[in-house]
Chains A and B, each alone.
Chain A
Amino acid sequence: MAEQTGMRRRPELACTQRFTRYQRDWFAEVRERAAAGEPVALLSADAPHEIYRAMDIPYVVIQWWSSVIAAKQKAPGYLRALAEAGYPDDSEQYNSLPLGELLAADEDPPWGGLPRPAIISAPLSTDATRQLFETSAQRSGAVFHPIEKTVDPRDDPPEEWWAQLPGSWDSFLPADRLDLLTDELTGLIRVLEQTTGRRFSESRFAEVMHLANEQAEHNAAARDLVAATVPTPVSVAETMPAVMVPQWHRGSSWARDAAAEFHAELSGRVAAGAAACPGEQVRLMWLGRGLWSSLGLYQYFQDTYGAVFVWSMYLGLAADGYARYFDGRDPLRALAARFVTVGDELRMPAWSAAWHVKEATLHQVDGVVSLGENDYFSVRRLEAAGIPVLSLAADNVDRRTWSEDELKASIARFIEERALPAAERRHHAS
């Protein structure tokens, strides 16, 4: 059976192509380092990369690699390989595709293939995370370092995390959650020192944390520019790769400078009056994971309806989710404060719904498309704020759960029936 192919995006920024080239060169270097015997880590997106960065242990992010697999249209075959080995092919697809690649023994894997990891690490944020990555570790010969994921137990957690966490994380978050993760990270550093022979430098680590904070500042500036500019200078088809490639290098000078470059190019486009869709009529928000294998789908609605997806969580979180200033405080505890909340921003409704409304309002959106999300409260609060929502059940990297034709039809109907009227109200009001 022929694999389905996705819709390619039209480039909107020059910097993204440079970032993508950098990513290819970097990945080739990781493969070379692995071939030379260096330990390579396979890390979840919500694992504390900064420790590995500080110790110069090369790492690949599981979900990024899954998105590469999906973009190369390899996901169906790798899911089949999982099923043939007796594993679920309908669970944790975003995390299980690298295992599927290993089992498939593909002779033509994306970008030459994922090097065999020596280390796998992920927080235990889903029911199957531990079994899945223990399995991956057993199959690949790696060591799995699980990290606990705690739950905010407070009766009334304060909502404005985006405003409080960067500077006041130590008073905003429950101390015992921070204590636990700080202790776990302390133990992880010791284990990594012993197993890899690398030294953890406190000075180097502090610098990594500063660079990550500076990167977040550039991303926040870029986000604010997109939010305030009508028509938007760029769509999510561009911001997703433009933000996420540097995000996987968070804590490096290159990533900080790339974020600055991204912001600078956006500023130039705004100054020149350049727009993703000069005839912009409707501004849309995309809730949930991105359609990495079909980024051009986002731009399809620019051509057909003048509807532009201006927001995705990728730039939103890059702007609001990472900065943790630690002047005079323990940078490792600041790192714990960065990761103890990862996922809460998106899936703990006390936080996620409030944030989605804040971001939707900031970006002047006329409608929200939500894919595969736990979105009950976000939908209610967005709708209550006059912002219509279309909820779709699908898994972003599993094409058996969606097709371009179905998405085009559903989103087109939503634009016609709900988002366009909302846009007209916005135009009248402005």
Chain B
Amino acid sequence: MSGDRAWAAALRSACEHPEAAAAAWRAGGGQVVGLLGWSAPRELVTAAGMLPVRLSAERLAALGPDRGSEPEWPDAVAAFGSELTPATARLAAALVSGALDWLDFLVIGRDREDYTRLFYLLRELRRGGAAPRMIPVAFFDLLRLPSRTSARYNRQRAVDLAAVIAGWAGRPVTSADLTGTVEAAGDIAHSFRGIQELRSGLYPRITGTDALAAAIASRVLPAEKVLPLLDAVLAAGVPGAPAPRARVFLAGSAVDDLTAYEALESLGLAIVGEDHEWGDDGSEYPLATRDPLDGIVDRYQFAHGGAARAGLRDRTERTADRVRAALADGVLYLLGPRDEAAGWELPALRDCLGAPPLIPVRLHDRAQGRPAPREAARADQGPATGGGWPELRDAGQRLLAELGAVSAISDATEDRHG
């Protein structure tokens, strides 16, 4: 974690400025497809020769008007708030007004029913003639039950979506195209397995912030740009880093804000893993199958994904496995302000985990502004780097207190590493 960190700046830039990556792609004559949700299959877009850029409704909402989140519908939340969460309402407004003009098309994944309602809303606005500047939108109705009937339905939906995307691209999506994109996804996943190994070692050689930046950037940049950056991440992981005060795993709702990770790491915590949908430990990628669409559909149907619409036992057992594999001393369980599903998993995960402390953290809503004054005042007392996430730093400090003496933790961790 020393030396030339040009790769880190490039990753961070991709995270924070997806529109710049899109502009660079379009400057070369390409088209850009926004993906809303982890379950929008990027492989289908890549196979059609277009650039998939995953969008974060929460991030766009937090950025403000200069990035197109508060366009001609300043009352987006008031208007669409009965249908959508505040962040998604603002994204809807941006789409309707044409403010996200760095996108050519949009695929909405069915991560959560808020996104289903977004699809309904955009479709209805278009039907009513209220969205003449909106880009074309498609919806991917991914089902998550691990059954054959759902698998058959998902394949039909993927075939239909591939046809829509091919229409957008103006070229067919062939089996060879899909095979190529599956191979590229496998290469990227291989890099992320390496990153996960380095960040979860006894002396973590990559920070959680850098790992998250790499994971987000890989959803924004084309493979030929992101792979060299991932190589640089792997090469930058040098030995000699100090032992962290404690090793923490983030579970529960998703967070894609690098400053959230920095807020925890500024306390001396090492974020050795996460199970939320913006992270990537390299374990999930499409396998090579005779029909490449099979591997792509399976990758999404059986993904860990988010808590919404997921199975309880599957997710808690897999999360507990990841916590153990990362040798975490404790877990911070994030409860997003609009994530109704995560809270239902919490007691089951606690039972499944056993010994490591698990601290719930109720996150503030970035789309509705800054934390409450009481929380902000508390934030002023801490390190400057974590100013936007006082609830996380508070939870990190509680975790440290619960874990007890620093030296004892280090000894215990060393023992577990053998």
A interface with B by C-beta (< 8 Å): 85-88, 91-92, 124-132, 134-135, 138, 146, 148, 150-151, 153, 155-156, 176, 179-180, 183-184, 187, 347-350, 353, 373-377, 379, 391, 393
Report which of B119, B311, B312, B343 forms a contact with A151, defined as CB distance below 8 A: B119
Considering the chains assembled together, what is the distance between the CA atoms of A134 and B156 in angstroms? 28
Pairs of residues from A and B, 8 with the lowest C-beta to C-beta distance, nearest first = A131-B344, A127-B308, A88-B343, A134-B312, A86-B347, A128-B341, A91-B340, A127-B341
The reply to whether B82 and A130 form a contact with Cβ atoms under 8 Å apart is no
The reply to whether B82 and A155 form a contact with Cβ atoms under 8 Å apart is no
B121 cross-chain contacts in A, Cβ below 8 A: 349, 376-377
Interfacial residues of chain B within 84-116, with CB under 8 A of chain A in the complex: 110, 112-114, 116
In the complex, identify which listed stretch (B37-45, B146-154, B364-372) lies at the interface while the others stay far away.
B146-154
B129-147 near A? 1/0 per residue, CB < 8 Å:
0000000000101011101
Q: For the complex, is B331 an interface residue (Cβ under 8 Å from A)?
A: no
A88 cross-chain contacts in B, Cβ below 8 A: 340, 343-344
B152 cross-chain contacts in A, Cβ below 8 A: 180, 183
Report which of A127, A150, A348, A353 forms a contact with B153, defined as CB distance below 8 A: A150
CB distance from A265 to the nearest CB of B (A): 37
Q: Across the interface, name the chain B residue whose C-beta is closest to A381.
A: B128
The reply to whether B311 and A127 form a contact with Cβ atoms under 8 Å apart is no
The reply to whether B127 and A128 form a contact with Cβ atoms under 8 Å apart is no
CB distance from B76 to the nearest CB of A (A): 11
Interfacial residues of chain B within 309-344, with CB under 8 A of chain A in the complex: 309-313, 339-341, 343-344
The 28 sampled A-B contact pairs (Cβ below 8 Å) are: A85-B347, A86-B350, A87-B347, A91-B340, A91-B343, A127-B114, A127-B308, A127-B340, A128-B340, A129-B309, A130-B311, A130-B341, A131-B312, A134-B311, A148-B150, A148-B153, A151-B141, A153-B141, A156-B127, A180-B152, A183-B152, A348-B120, A349-B124, A350-B123, A350-B124, A373-B82, A376-B121, A377-B121
Report which of B112, B139, B310, B344 forms a contact with A91, defined as CB distance below 8 A: B344
Q: Across the interface, name the chain B residue whose C-beta is closest to A380.
A: B128
The reply to whether A128 and B308 form a contact with Cβ atoms under 8 Å apart is yes
B228-247 near A? 1/0 per residue, CB < 8 Å:
00000000000000000000
A131 cross-chain contacts in B, Cβ below 8 A: 307, 310-312, 341, 344-345
The reply to whether A134 and B341 form a contact with Cβ atoms under 8 Å apart is no
The reply to whether A151 and B116 form a contact with Cβ atoms under 8 Å apart is yes
Considering the chains assembled together, what is the distance between the CA atoms of A350 and B83 in angstroms? 13
CB distance from A80 to the nearest CB of B (A): 15
Q: Across the interface, name the chain B residue whose C-beta is closest to A377.
A: B124
Considering the chains assembled together, what is the distance between the CA atoms of A183 and B151 in angstroms? 12
A187 cross-chain contacts in B, Cβ below 8 A: 147, 149
The reply to whether A135 and B82 form a contact with Cβ atoms under 8 Å apart is no
CB distance from A152 to the nearest CB of B (A): 9
A156 cross-chain contacts in B, Cβ below 8 A: 127
Q: Across the interface, name the chain B residue whose C-beta is closest to A344.
A: B120
Q: For the complex, is B299 an interface residue (Cβ under 8 Å from A)?
A: no
Q: Across the interface, name the chain A residue whose C-beta is closest to B130.
A: A380
Q: For the complex, is B160 an interface residue (Cβ under 8 Å from A)?
A: yes
Given contacts A91-B344, A138-B348, A377-B121, 10 further A-B contacts (CB under 8 A): A127-B307, A128-B343, A135-B347, A148-B150, A151-B119, A176-B153, A180-B143, A180-B149, A350-B123, A376-B121
Q: Across the interface, name the chain A residue whose C-beta is closest to B127.
A: A156
Q: Across the interface, name the chain B residue whose C-beta is closest to A374.
A: B83
B82 cross-chain contacts in A, Cβ below 8 A: 373-376, 379, 391, 393
B interface with A by C-beta (< 8 Å): 79-80, 82-83, 110, 112-114, 116-117, 119-121, 123-124, 127, 139, 141, 143-145, 147, 149-150, 152-153, 156-157, 160, 307-313, 339-341, 343-348, 350
Considering the chains assembled together, what is the distance between the CA atoms of A176 and B82 in angstroms? 30
The reply to whether A350 and B127 form a contact with Cβ atoms under 8 Å apart is yes
The reply to whether B127 and A87 form a contact with Cβ atoms under 8 Å apart is no
Q: Across the interface, name the chain A residue whose C-beta is closest to B350.
A: A86
Considering the chains assembled together, what is the distance between the CA atoms of A353 and B118 in angstroms? 16
B308 cross-chain contacts in A, Cβ below 8 A: 127-128
The verdict on A350 contacting B310 (CB below 8 Å), with A86-B347, A124-B145 known, is no
CB distance from B312 to the nearest CB of A (A): 4
Report which of A130, A180, A391 forms a contact with B310, defined as CB distance below 8 A: A130
CB distance from B380 to the nearest CB of A (A): 30
Considering the chains assembled together, what is the distance between the CA atoms of A374 and B150 in angstroms? 28
Considering the chains assembled together, what is the distance between the CA atoms of A409 and B251 in angstroms? 44
Considering the chains assembled together, what is the distance between the CA atoms of A148 and B127 in angstroms? 27
The reply to whether A376 and B123 form a contact with Cβ atoms under 8 Å apart is no
A129 cross-chain contacts in B, Cβ below 8 A: 309
The reply to whether B312 and A150 form a contact with Cβ atoms under 8 Å apart is no
A349 cross-chain contacts in B, Cβ below 8 A: 83, 120-121, 124
A348 cross-chain contacts in B, Cβ below 8 A: 120
Considering the chains assembled together, what is the distance between the CA atoms of A348 and B119 in angstroms? 10
Considering the chains assembled together, what is the distance between the CA atoms of A124 and B141 in angstroms? 13
CB distance from B54 to the nearest CB of A (A): 20
CB distance from B45 to the nearest CB of A (A): 17
CB distance from A135 to the nearest CB of B (A): 6
Considering the chains assembled together, what is the distance between the CA atoms of A111 and B174 in angstroms? 62
Considering the chains assembled together, what is the distance between the CA atoms of A421 and B309 in angstroms? 45
CB distance from B140 to the nearest CB of A (A): 9
CB distance from A353 to the nearest CB of B (A): 8
CB distance from A236 to the nearest CB of B (A): 22
The reply to whether A87 and B344 form a contact with Cβ atoms under 8 Å apart is yes
B114 cross-chain contacts in A, Cβ below 8 A: 127
B147 cross-chain contacts in A, Cβ below 8 A: 184, 187
Q: Across the interface, name the chain A residue whose C-beta is closest to B307.
A: A131
CB distance from A338 to the nearest CB of B (A): 18
The reply to whether B309 and A127 form a contact with Cβ atoms under 8 Å apart is yes
Considering the chains assembled together, what is the distance between the CA atoms of A90 and B51 in angstroms? 40
CB distance from B211 to the nearest CB of A (A): 27
The reply to whether A148 and B340 form a contact with Cβ atoms under 8 Å apart is no
The verdict on A183 contacting B341 (CB below 8 Å), with A150-B141, A375-B82 known, is no
Considering the chains assembled together, what is the distance between the CA atoms of A134 and B311 in angstroms? 8
Considering the chains assembled together, what is the distance between the CA atoms of A368 and B279 in angstroms? 45
Q: Across the interface, name the chain A residue whose C-beta is closest to B112.
A: A127
Report which of A138, A146, A176 forms a contact with B145, defined as CB distance below 8 A: A146
A176 cross-chain contacts in B, Cβ below 8 A: 153, 156
A374 cross-chain contacts in B, Cβ below 8 A: 82-83, 117
Report which of B80, B83, B311, B346 forms a contact with A86, defined as CB distance below 8 A: B346
CB distance from A150 to the nearest CB of B (A): 6
A347 cross-chain contacts in B, Cβ below 8 A: 117, 120
CB distance from B48 to the nearest CB of A (A): 19
CB distance from A122 to the nearest CB of B (A): 12
The reply to whether B312 and A135 form a contact with Cβ atoms under 8 Å apart is yes
B141 cross-chain contacts in A, Cβ below 8 A: 150-151, 153
CB distance from A223 to the nearest CB of B (A): 26
* Interface hub of A131, A135, A156, A183 (most chain B Cβ within 10 A): A131
B348 cross-chain contacts in A, Cβ below 8 A: 135, 138
A155 cross-chain contacts in B, Cβ below 8 A: 123
B157 cross-chain contacts in A, Cβ below 8 A: 153
Considering the chains assembled together, what is the distance between the CA atoms of A148 and B156 in angstroms? 15
A134 cross-chain contacts in B, Cβ below 8 A: 311-313
Q: Across the interface, name the chain B residue whose C-beta is closest to A372.
A: B82
Q: Across the interface, name the chain B residue whose C-beta is closest to A85.
A: B347
B139 cross-chain contacts in A, Cβ below 8 A: 151, 153
* Interface hub of A85, A125, A148, A373 (most chain B Cβ within 10 A): A148
Considering the chains assembled together, what is the distance between the CA atoms of A124 and B149 in angstroms? 15
CB distance from A53 to the nearest CB of B (A): 23
Considering the chains assembled together, what is the distance between the CA atoms of A323 and B79 in angstroms? 35
Considering the chains assembled together, what is the distance between the CA atoms of A184 and B344 in angstroms? 26
The reply to whether B340 and A92 form a contact with Cβ atoms under 8 Å apart is yes
